[in-house]
A and B are shown apart, each in its own frame.
Chain A
Amino acid sequence: MKALLLRDLKLAFRAGGGFGLGIAFFLIVVILVPFSVGPESSLLTKIAPGILWLGALLACLLSLDRILALDWEDGTLDLVATSPLPLEAVVSVKALAHWLTTGVPLVVAAPLFGVLLNLPAEGYIWLVTSLALGTPALSVIGTFGAALTVGIKRGGLLLSLLILPLYVPTLIFGAELARRGAEGQAVSTPLLMLAGITFGVIALLPFASAAVLRVNLR
């Protein structure tokens, strides 16, 4: 498991193009927003948590088809599947590697981008909390989508179509948590719901991902 994780991380860091692209995309989304809605700082303050969440979600989506597609093409996935490691563990590790290379940088970069959108001072802690708590769910759900579409040529667009509806609950509670934090309201309900979704997804969804991966490897 550790070897697989290290291998995935190394590939992401060294192969170029993958790592860092997510943050760059996130940055561009954040920069484009004031161009499209206007530079009034009061408006930006109001929509900042939602925009930051949406940008993080789209940046996450961008790198999903890399989770399994490359390993599928060069046959690594068949080798890993025949190893004693259960496929559930493999997809969990894949999701973890995706989160470490995409989710964590987004969480770290988000406060910086919050400055660009004039996020109020009390919002930063909750923005980081919500993203740190929510991005693992995005990675795990995304791995499920990647496992579904791994056998399909040019499945990237289909992957987005399948995954985005599944992202709705995470987005609602994550953005709500960040928004309430920024406006200084009570945050415990969305916080608990977001944590529930994330941990529930981490516990259950790898079984579904492994099941569809088995079908695809058949």
Chain B
Amino acid sequence: MGSIWEYANPVKFSQTVSRFLAPVAITAGACLVVGLIWGFFFTPDDFRQGSTVKIIYLHVPSALMAINAWFMMLVTSLIWLVRRHHVSALAAKAAAPIGMVMTVIALLTGAIWGQPMWGTWWAWDPRLTSFLILFLFYLGYIALWEAIDDPDTAADLTSVLCIVGSVFAVLSRYAVNFWNQGLHQGASFARVEAVTGGDTTEKVSNVFFVPLLVCIAGFVLLFVALVLLRTRTEIHKRRTRALLARERLA
């Protein structure tokens, strides 16, 4: 086993993907099935929120992945700009639509939960607004990939856009916070002090938390599986194009 950069070789990457894709996908599916069934059918209703609390098993993991997908794109974009590994740029391209779908899932499930709980589908709350802005960033990023023919130029331009966009996304997050105080509750994850500090009323209790963790693991693995699959598809697409071009020349 050499350095991690060995996997920047497309052939090696494809081989590795072929070996790991099935196990990762199966584990993801198992985690999701177990986590969602456990969460939906075998947890008690919350005493205030009733059964709507169960949407947390879709909402929190998808929101988490929506942000982490962008973060992954930022890292792979930087790797592409510094080390010029094509696999890295293609992985960023492959992750963008997945991240966008996660953003949409988070927004939709949030709206479905918000209707009975807050009495509104949508409020201009900082978190909700930031997610809408994040969705726009994904949209622009994907549109830029689609608009440029030359793959290397597209990879360069989208990488710079991703970096600049990250800075502005963080900036927007704080600007939006300043602009309007929100309805949205604090992070469900701030649980450590709940155990140590004794103030458990505001946090997620263990009954809900364990299936939530399973669901999050499922979403993470699902994301990994999809990114690996889509990156491999992009590599194959690129190779097909090269082969076709060679044939035309011959």
Contacts and interface: CB of A to CB of B under 8 A. Distances in A.
Interface of A: 144, 148-149, 151-152, 155, 158, 161-162, 164-166, 168-169, 172-173, 176, 189-190, 193, 197, 205, 208, 211-212, 215-216, 218
Contacts of A144: 164
A124 B139 CA distance: 37
Interface string B154-184: 0011001101110010011011101100000
Nearest to A204: B167
Contacts, number: 75
A169 B172 CA distance: 5
Interface centre among A144, A149, A169, A211 (most CB of B within 10 A): A169
B183 to A, nearest CB: 18
Contact of B172 (A165, A215, A218): A165
Contacts of B157: 148, 212, 215-216
Interface of B: 133, 136-137, 139-140, 143-144, 147-148, 153, 156-157, 160-161, 163-165, 168, 171-172, 174-176, 178-179
Contacts of B178: 172-173, 176, 189-190, 193
B71 to A, nearest CB: 17
B143 A166 contact: no
Contacts of B137: 165
A169 B164 contact: no
A210 B172 CA distance: 24
A189 B175 CA distance: 11
A190 B175 CA distance: 9
User: What are the nearest 5 A-B pairs in CB distance?
Assistant: A169-B175, A165-B136, A215-B156, A172-B175, A162-B140
Contacts of A165: 133, 136-137, 140, 165, 168, 172
A208 B153 contact: no
B65 to A, nearest CB: 20
A130 B160 CA distance: 29
Contacts of A176: 178-179
A158 B147 contact: yes
A193 B136 contact: no
B124 to A, nearest CB: 11
Given A148-B144, A165-B133, A218 B160 contact: no
Interface of B is mostly: helix
B166 to A, nearest CB: 11
Nearest to B141: A162
A113 B179 CA distance: 25
A168 B168 contact: yes
Contacts of B161: 148, 162, 212
A152 B157 CA distance: 12
A166 B165 contact: yes
A91 to B, nearest CB: 13
Contact of A173 (B133, B140, B163, B175): B175
Contacts of A212: 156-157, 160-161
Given A144-B164, A211-B160, 15 more contacts: A148-B161, A151-B148, A158-B140, A158-B143, A161-B139, A165-B136, A168-B172, A169-B168, A172-B175, A172-B179, A190-B178, A193-B175, A205-B164, A212-B161, A215-B160
Contacts of B133: 165, 168
B148 A172 contact: no
Contacts of A197: 171
Nearest to B155: A215
B237 to A, nearest CB: 21
B173 to A, nearest CB: 9
A18 B180 CA distance: 37
A109 B87 CA distance: 51
